[in-house]
Structure 1
Amino acid sequence: MSIKAVLFDLDDTLFDHLASAKAGLQAFTRHLGLAPSNDLAGDWFTIERANYDRFLAKELTFQEQRRERLRQFLPLAGYAAPAGEEDLNELFAVYLECYERSWQAFPDAGPCLQALRDGGVLTAVISNGNHAQQQAKLRNIGLESALDAIFTSESIGHTKPMPEAFLKPCEALSVLPVHALYVGDNFRVDIEGARNAGLQAVHLQRGGTPERGTLQNLKELILLMSATAVPRA
């Protein structure tokens, strides 16, 4: 089956969110006068994930989930959380500045997108998240110009793994789902979601154990695209 469009997840697929967030958190904790630690980092990411899921479920606004993350994290770090919302917003802005200074793409992301575009394949991102922030990431790390479109749960109105989160981008690109390939790092949200919507999909496992039907990096995607079919196992 020919592939006319390759659609990507963003965080931890094209954009190295984990490395960026770790570097940003280290700078933020030092700003607070605290010593960075693996335990604090673990707490931060657990809290981030739980509250971001609440945002995606529309239980919290985007800004509310940021404030809630600080309310839960700061006491664990031995730091008194500000009581007022504006004070929390200002403190989160400090973390955000540290995080944004650390934004980085994976080294293979740009060359992969360019190779696909050179081969006449449409490229796009489908990401669960705030549209302005995800677009800013792509612009800042130099990938925006290599994409034909950027779709987010905020702009689409549906979150992955809902079928509509994949089908609406295909419709916007005038590509049938069977002619679209989705690449992402989260098997349940990205791969199962895309396949349930009728797209082809391949799991990216950076640094994981090599397995049949998975990619270790995006260089392998270009080799995969040159094959006659995309493995679905």
Structure 2
Amino acid sequence: LDFLMEHGMIQAVPDGLRATAFGMLIAKSNYAVQTAVRLKEFARSGGEVDMSRLIYEICRTPDLIPISFKGRKSRDPVRDRLNRAGLFVVDVGNDEATAATLMEWMDERSEYEIENAFNVYAASTRRAAYEASRLVKFHREICQVLGVYTGLDSMETLTARLYYGVKEELLPLVVGIKRLGRRRARALVDAFGTDLRYVSREELLRIEGIGPKTAENILKKYHSHD
């Protein structure tokens, strides 16, 4: 009981004990109490929300199965990737490898590229990214319960980027066009930019992987805004 009260999950009331909004949120989720406490403490750390730090905190929770290293090769590439994100760590283990992997996934690297760059078992990257996206959403809900509203929009963007494995500029396409996928979305943006309102059906069909049905879906989405 002391632990639950200390971390704001229950509170004393005149007729006994009652679950707080934070406690009820945990009860409705499938996440470990340790995960919720870590994310609550991060939410209360104050200042602007550092999304790279949030990813790292999520990777250190018991609810995200880590991506592990292969063999005994140098772990410096993972350390360097985290350093570029403003995260300076001394010991590099599987949690750090997972964070670096997710960052590269959002930069549209393939599992094969990630595995070669970091010497990790990257086959579970998609699953880890999906679970991480759900944990970001959970963290966002914790922030709302605590009355911490800074960075909520950025968290929503981060959730989508993890889920789809894309840079932010591709989100309107991968979210708005069903089953388009990040490869075809990237090909479209590389060819035409992010504004597809003036792209014709014939131009769309010249892009590898874009068939008549997908082209029609793209035209419906963008031309309906004219």
Structure number with bigger Rg: 2
TM-score normalized with structure 2 length:
0.25
Structure with bigger helix share is: 2
Of the two structures, which has the highest relative contact order with CA contacts closer than 8 Å and spacing of 6 or more? 1
TM-score normalized with structure 1 length:
0.24
Structure with bigger strand share is: 1
